[in-house]
């Protein structure tokens, strides 16, 4: 009887810890996703400015390539952060015991709607032209 009670307490503590960690992960990742979305916008603006500078002869092609690389890195980081956020939301729901099939279907829809980074980058280049 005592062993069962100790095991129940251990499982309860582990569940509380997992729930708290998942909750903090969700909160943290929300801020990170927002910041990285802004980083993408800033990198896009910087690339446009660098390309304009190249067009008038004040910037080099190396500057343009560095700006493009910075944009690609920002987009990649943004999408990676979104994936981490989705994972943390699922972990939180699982830890809280509220994970439903509808949650997984919603994640599936999010992933289907996502534009691959390569396509997003190509669209950005088309818009810049």
Q: What is the value of pTM for the model shown?
A: 0.73
Q: What is the DSSP letter of 56?
A: H
Instruction: Calculate the average pLDDT of the chain.
Output: 87
**Each residue of 97-125: pLDDT tens digit?**
899 999 898 888 877 766 665 565 556 55
Into how many domains does the chain fold? 1
**pLDDT per residue rounded down to tens, the chain (129 residues):** 889 999 999 999 998 898 888 899 899 999 999 999 999 999 999 999 999 999 999 999 999 999 999 999 999 999 899 889 888 889 889 888 899 999 898 888 877 766 665 565 556 556 655
* Residue 99: φ, ψ to 5°: -70, 125
- Distance from C-alpha of 30 to C-alpha of 8, rounded to nearest angstrom: 33
- Distance from C-alpha of 7 to C-alpha of 14, rounded to nearest angstrom: 10
Whose structure tokens read 């690339």?
47
The parent domain of residue 96 ranges over 2-128
* CATH at residue 36: 1.10.287
């Amino acid at each position: 009887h005592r062993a069962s009670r100790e095991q129940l307490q251990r499982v309860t503590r582990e569940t509380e810890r997992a729930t708290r960690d998942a909750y903090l992960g969700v909160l943290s990742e929300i801020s990170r996703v927002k910041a990285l979305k802004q980083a993408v916008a800033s990198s896009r603006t910087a690339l446009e400015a660098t390309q304009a500078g190249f067009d008038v002869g004040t910037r080099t092609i190396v500057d343009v390539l560095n700006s493009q690389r910075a944009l690609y890195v920002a987009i990649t980081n943004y999408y990676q952060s979104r994936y981490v956020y989705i994972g943390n939301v699922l972990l939180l729901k699982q830890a809280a015991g509220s994970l439903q099939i509808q949650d997984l279907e919603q994640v599936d829809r999010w992933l289907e709607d996502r534009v691959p980074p390569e396509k997003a980058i190509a669209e950005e280049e088309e818009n810049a032209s």
